[in-house]
Amino acid sequence: MIDASKLTEQFGCLVFSDKIMKERLPKDIYKAVHKTIEKGTHLELDVANTVAAVMKEWAIENGATHFTHWFQPMTGLTAEKHDSFISPTGDGQILMEFSGKELVKGEPDASSFPSGGLRATFEARGYTAWDPSSPAFIKDGSLYIPTAFCSYGGEALDKKTPLLRSMDALSKEAVKILNLLGLTEKADIDELKAILKDYAKETDSEYAKEILSDFDEYIPNFKKIVPNK
């Protein structure tokens, strides 16, 4: 029976959420990951290594011994490629290892999945790439890392890659429209700054503080939208 009094504690307890990242990652690494999530910037290897180390530590604390790149090929099902954190040493001992490279990229056998005739079976090379916008989670003793799945040439072999690409394309076109509107009235700028100050005070948001610290540079990123009456 579920203990209703502990629901708020138990809900999402096996998810490597934003809250967990903020608690465990160094501030600069946390900000770098969020920059990748929000702006699609390249994730440097040293950042990936730090995230992987923290993610592994958290996963092991919660009973995980393996990790898997979890993806959605064009089969109507999900797919997984499991590997162990455990690496044997020459003296009969083991090490618990998980690198940034293992977090960011995997190479399952793409010949096992539909490709729409993109290439012959013997040419099949498929890659999984970590999608940091989807949080990792633990299930049945494994750390599940949500990933996109594509071919060597970049063709989508899954259902997530087209979705991510369409979201990116839509965002770019929306930004073009918003750039035509701008935020130039002093009253609007002052109001925005006041809102950000209140938000930073109430939530201790690192993003709000960062924007306020270089407010003039961030102003072009804000647009005022007024609905038609």
pLDDT tens figures, 175-189: 777 666 666 678 888
163 or 126, higher pLDDT: 163
Could you tell me if residue 173 is inside a domain?
no
- The closest of 150, 40, 44, 154 to 100, measured between CA atoms, is 44
Which pLDDT does position 132 carry in this prediction?
92
Could you tell me if residue 208 is inside a domain?
yes
Residue 2 has pLDDT above 60, yes or no: no
Could you tell me if residue 166 is inside a domain?
no
How much is the average pLDDT of 208-229? 79
Which pLDDT does position 149 carry in this prediction?
92
Q: Does 52 share its domain with 119?
A: yes
Q: Does 153 share its domain with 195?
A: no
Which pLDDT does position 140 carry in this prediction?
93
Q: Does 154 share its domain with 215?
A: no
Residue 120 has pLDDT above 50, yes or no: yes
Give me the chain's average pLDDT, please: 84
Residue 196 has pLDDT above 50, yes or no: yes
Among 143, 158, 173, identify where a domain stops: 158
Supply the range of the domain harboring residue 57: 4-158
Q: Does 152 share its domain with 189?
A: no
Which pLDDT does position 227 carry in this prediction?
66
Which pLDDT does position 108 carry in this prediction?
79
Q: Does 150 share its domain with 188?
A: no
Could you tell me if residue 93 is inside a domain?
yes
Among 158, 174, 199, identify where a domain stops: 158
pLDDT band at 124 (very low <50, low <70, confident <90, very high): low
> Tokens 């064009």 belong to which residue?
74
At 25-55, the pLDDT tens digits run 999 999 999 888 887 888 899 999 999 999 9
Q: Does 110 share its domain with 40?
A: yes
Q: Does 127 share its domain with 196?
A: no
* Secondary structure (H, E, C), the chain: CCCHHHHHHHCCCCECCHHHHHHHCCHHHHHHHHHHHHHCCCCCHHHHHHHHHHHHHHHHHCCCCEEEEEECECCCCCEEEEEECEEECCCCCEEECCCHHHHHEECCCHHHCCCCCCCCHHHCCEEEEECCCCCCEEECCEEEEEEEEEECCCCECECHHHHHHHHHHHHHHHHHHHHCCCCCCHHHHHHHHHHHHHHHHHHCCHHHHHHHHCHHHHHHHCCCCCCCC
Q: Does 120 share its domain with 21?
A: yes
At 78-118, the pLDDT tens digits run 999 888 888 777 777 767 788 999 999 988 777 777 766 66
Could you tell me if residue 137 is inside a domain?
yes
Which pLDDT does position 1 carry in this prediction?
46
211 or 185, higher pLDDT: 211
CA separation for the pair 183, 218 (Å, rounded): 11
Least confident of 35-39, 70-74, 110-114, 199-203: 110-114
Total of domains in the chain: 2
What CATH number did the domain enclosing 121 receive?
A: 3.10.20.70
Q: Does 139 share its domain with 192?
A: no
CA separation for the pair 59, 64 (Å, rounded): 5
Residue 40's region, left for phi above 0, alpha for psi from -120 to 50, else beta, is left
